[in-house]
Structure 1
Amino acid sequence: MQPMHKGRFADPAVEERFQQVGRRYRVPFVRVYGVLFMLIALAYSVSNPLLLAPAANARVAVWLGLTLLVAGAYVGATFWDGYVRKPVVDFSCLVLLQLLIGQVNVTLFEHLANVQAHLHAVATINRLAVTAFAAVTLAARPRLFLLWLGCDVLQWLGQIFADGTFPAEIVYALLSYVSGAVVMVAINLAIGVSSRWAFALAEALDVERGKNEAMVHNMLPAAAVEKIRDGRMVADAYADVSVIFIDMVGFSKLAKRVSPGHLVELLNGFFNHADRCAAEHGVEKVKTIGDAYLAIAGGNVACGNSADAAIAFARAVLAGVDEIGRVAGVEVGLRIGIHSGPVVGGVIGATRMAYDYWGETMNIAARIESTAPVNGIAISERTWLRARDRADFGAPRSELLKGVGDTCVFHAGPAQPDDLAPDPELPGISAAA
């Protein structure tokens, strides 16, 4: 929301845009009011010769002619491109109209006073003040306002005709009341229309804001969003998470065999399935890298035991491999690696922001994934010790990981020939530990 200062926007540029946009929306109503004003002046011009003495009629005709000229010029000015940037046009025209109508009223009042008429035309102005209040109060309810106006007209006519006043006064009172009532009806409609525009705009903005909020929270954790809004750096440390790295087997060869559209369909099916599994098991999706899927248990999304959540997620993903392949019409194989340890998470950069994680734990998980059997899971010793659900994992193996060295790894999945016996280099760890 734009900051305000003394009833105006603090930013002069914003204030200027607000004024111009408001004036642009009011242009149709200004034209309607101008035309109504000209019609009322014409009505007076037609009635005056029948009610006024020649001298008084001549003076009123001059003032009304000038009034028509100014009102016409006012309406014409609204078609000028620079009108919305020049509020002085409204001010000048309204001042001139006020002076001219004042002169017309002076002449009419002098005539009515000379014939000793009751000045019901003057009293009508007081009723129109209440009518103006009703027009604003009952905005956006034109039928209710017209009903109220009808009741007021009946009451007013009863007062006018009650004492049999001079005919000239009745005509001028009718002209004053009808002209004012017509303007009030136009004001009631204008306020209703503008209010509906504002409401529709606010509703549309709320819908778009909701979509944007959902999109932002889909990309960033809620806590990170709040920090970014406050202008704070997003940097978090997590002491114990389990990183899951999933890769599709033989993706490069597959990409050469199938069409790009078929490949995108396959990846979309795989990633959507992984997303559903992540939501089901309380695992946070971090990102996709080509055909690889990276997720974390125990980071921004709370879970009990991060290792158990990661393993359960991995098993759920593997359970859908056959269905993914059936839908895509090709054989699909996945390898999954899991490693537990500390990571650092945060948001870097100002464009295409995404919450990411860094640290050695991430690298080891990716390296362990490469040792997993096809459609199987490989976990590090640290994850194995952290997990309570170890049922499917066999004996430990020593794997030489690039950039890491010899690492104790446990496998679960299709049996491999050398998975049937424990590694002699790791006598202290057994499946029953």
Structure 2
Amino acid sequence: MAAFAPRFADPETERAFLSEERAQRGRAIRALIVIAVATLGSYILINPMHFPRAGVTAYAAAAAVLGAMMIGFFLLTQTRLYQERPAIDLPVFVLLALGMGWLSQVLADLAPFTGFPPHVMVMVQLGILVVFASVGFAGTFRLFLVWATVLLGLAIIWMMTRPGVPDISRVYTLTNFSTFWIFALYFNWDVERRAREVFTANLALAAEKAKTEELLYNVLPQEVAARLKAGDAVADAFTDVAVVFVDLVGFSRLAKRLSPGHLVQLLNAYFSAGDRCCDRHGLEKVKTIGDAYLAVAGGMASRDADARAAVGFARDLIGELKALSEERGIALQARVGLHVGPAVGGVIGTNRLAYDYWGDTMNIAARLQSVAPPNGIAVSEAAWLQVGSMIACEPQILVLKGVGETEVYLATLESSA
């Protein structure tokens, strides 16, 4: 039974599928109900031209009750109860079967006027009901199988006990009804099977989309990623960004001594330490350039951080480099440059997207790094005005390449630990 009528192993997934399938199938069910009610109404209007008054009254009463049931089902399909309680299909179609049975009996009594044998008229009406039920049992093939099997059994009993019907007529009528029954079962089963396949594919697609978005959010700030997905150009101006530029001392000589694999491992440990320090102090990693690590405070993803957080980041990173040196037996030292000023941030290009920053503030931070002492920091005057109480040093006038004479504050940093 499980292979013939599969279900999702996870109950939550099964509930999600049924809710979605019943919400979507509800539109088709309501369309069929409109057609059915309109058909019943048309017969009520036409019958007085062909049937006696008693027959017209009997049909109108039965059709009115069945139509009211249909309208009730129409309204039910728009409720959360219908979507969340699939078992409700069974009592609904039991009632519809009783209503259709009443209407079928009325039509059987009118056989002298319609020219159709009573048993044929009954089976035609039940066949119509089974076809409608194949759409109406939404995502509940097992319930449909139970309902349809009971209906078939009752039809067989009724047909075999009907007096005055030739055996050949019984056989052919039941054969035709059974054909409707089998087609309806197959249609309901196949629709549900395909719906489950589509739902499974959509789950897989949603999972892949989530992975893609997670990767995108790891590369770009969430706000930026949302703007890119919306097709917007991403360009922002910042008036007061603290830029931290970190570079390893003597990296070129170190690269000549180490094997490529060992060198990559060392760089990975260094950059991972930088990432941890960024997270700890609320800074935003911008990128790595060779052995240099660039981060900002007060940018797109670090609006709450400032130059003081940048100094804390630099101090902790140097502390982690000291620990890494002791662990690996390789002397690692860094120089840090810190400057505060305006910058432009944004995303350009179409491949390997990243939120980058541009402007003189970035260049001056890089130049400051070049004059910082090993395991120390060079701070511009603009940055010093924000962080002066955190580091002890005296101003010096130094010549920075491409900048000229600049007042710089130099200090050796120790780990905050």
Whether TM exceeds 0.5 here: the answer is yes
AA of the residue aligned to 2:157: G
Counterpart code for 1:409: V
Secondary structure at 1:387 match in 2: helix
Distance 1:302 1:168 in 2: 85
Correspondence for 1:361: 361
* Letter of the structure 2 residue corresponding to residue 360 of structure 1: D
Secondary structure of the equivalent of 2:371?
coil
The answer to whether structure 1 residue 252 and structure 2 residue 269 are counterparts is: no
More moved, 184-193 vs 282-291? 184-193
1:111-150 superposed Cα distances (whole Å, 9 cap, x missing partner): xx9xx99453453232222222322333443322211112
2:137 is aligned with 1:138: yes
- Deviation per CA, 1:97-121: give whole Å up to 9, x if none: xxxxxxxxxxxxxxxx9xx994534
* TM superposition score normalised by structure 2: 0.67
Letter in 1 for 2:227: K
1:297 deviates by: 0.3
In 2, Cα distance between equivalents of 1:329 and 1:152 = 83
Tell me how far 1:326 sits from its aligned partner.
4.5
Which residue of 1 is the match for residue 64 of structure 2?
none
Aligned twin of 1:261: 261
Check if 1:153 corresponds to 2:152: yes
- For residues 136 and 177 of structure 2, what CA distance do their matches in structure 1 show? 19
Equivalent position of 2:200 in the other structure: 200
Other-structure match for 1:237: 237
| 1: CA distance, partners of 2:298 / 2:264 | 30
RMSD between aligned alpha carbons?
A: 2.3
Partner of 1:105: none
- The structure-2 alpha-carbon separation of the partners of 1:117 and 1:352, relative to structure 1 and needing over 3 Å to count, comes to closer
- The one-letter code sitting in structure 1 at the alignment partner of 2:154 is Q
Shift of 1:166: 1.6
- Does the CA-based 8 Å contact 1:241-1:343 persist in structure 2? yes
* Superimposed CA distance per residue, residues 317-338 of structure 1 (whole angstroms, 9 cap, x where no aligned partner): 1221133335545332221111
Residues 412/138 of structure 1: CA separation in 2 closer, same or farther (3 Å cut): farther
Q: How does 1:81-100 map to 2 (within 5 A)?
A: none
Shift in Å, 1:300 = 0.5
2:175 pairs with 1:175: yes
Structure 1 residue matching 2:252: 3-state secondary structure: helix
Distance 2:271 2:187 in 1: 57
Structure 2 CA distance for aligned equivalents of residues 398 and 209 of structure 1: 54
**Number of the residue aligned with 2:126:** 127
What is the percent sequence identity of the aligned residues?
41
Q: Within 2, Cα distance between the matches of 1:195 and 1:405?
A: 70
Question: Is contact 2:318-2:413 (8 Å) kept?
Answer: no
The aligned counterpart of 1:34 is none
Kept in 1, the 8 Å contact 2:315–2:413? The answer is no
Q: Is the CA contact 2:335–2:370 (under 8 Å) kept in the aligned structure 1?
A: yes
Aligned to 2:68: none
Q: Which amino acid aligns with 2:332?
A: V
> Contact (CA 8 Å) 1:139, 1:189: kept in 2 or not?
no
* Pair 328,169 (structure 1): closer, same or farther in 2 beyond 3 Å: farther
Task: Tell me the CA shift for residue 274 of structure 1.
Answer: 1.1
**Cα displacement (A) at 1:218:** 2.2
- The answer on whether the counterparts of 1:325 and 1:332 sit within 8 Å (CA) in structure 2 is yes
Give the equivalent residue in structure 1 for 2:296.
296
Q: For 1:166, give the aligned amino acid.
A: P
Report what 2:65 is aligned to.
none
Q: Which runs of 5+ in 2 are unaligned?
A: 1-111
Cα contact 2:296–2:302 (8 A) shared by 1: no
In structure 2, relative to structure 1, the CA distance for the partners of 1:184 and 1:255 (3 Å cut) is same
- Quote the Cα distance in structure 2 between the aligned partners of 1:222 and 1:275: 18
1:370 is paired with a residue of what secondary structure? helix
Q: Give CA deviations for 1:188-242 in whole Å, capped at 9, x if unaligned.
A: 2211111111111111121111122122222223333343344433221111010
Alignment deviations for residues 375-429 of structure 1 (CA, whole Å, 9 cap, x no partner): 22221111010226x33332222222111112222223269xxxxxxxxxxxxxx
**Does the 8 Å CA contact 1:118/1:169 hold for their aligned counterparts?**
no
In 2, Cα distance between equivalents of 1:117 and 1:171:
17
Q: Structure 1 residues 323, 127: closer, same or farther in 2, change over 3 A?
A: farther
Instruction: Quote the Cα distance in structure 2 between the aligned partners of 1:327 and 1:174.
Output: 86
1:331 corresponding residue in structure 2: 331
> How far, CA to CA, are the matches of 1:178 and 1:223 in structure 2?
60
d(CA) in 2 for partners of 1:150, 1:368:
85
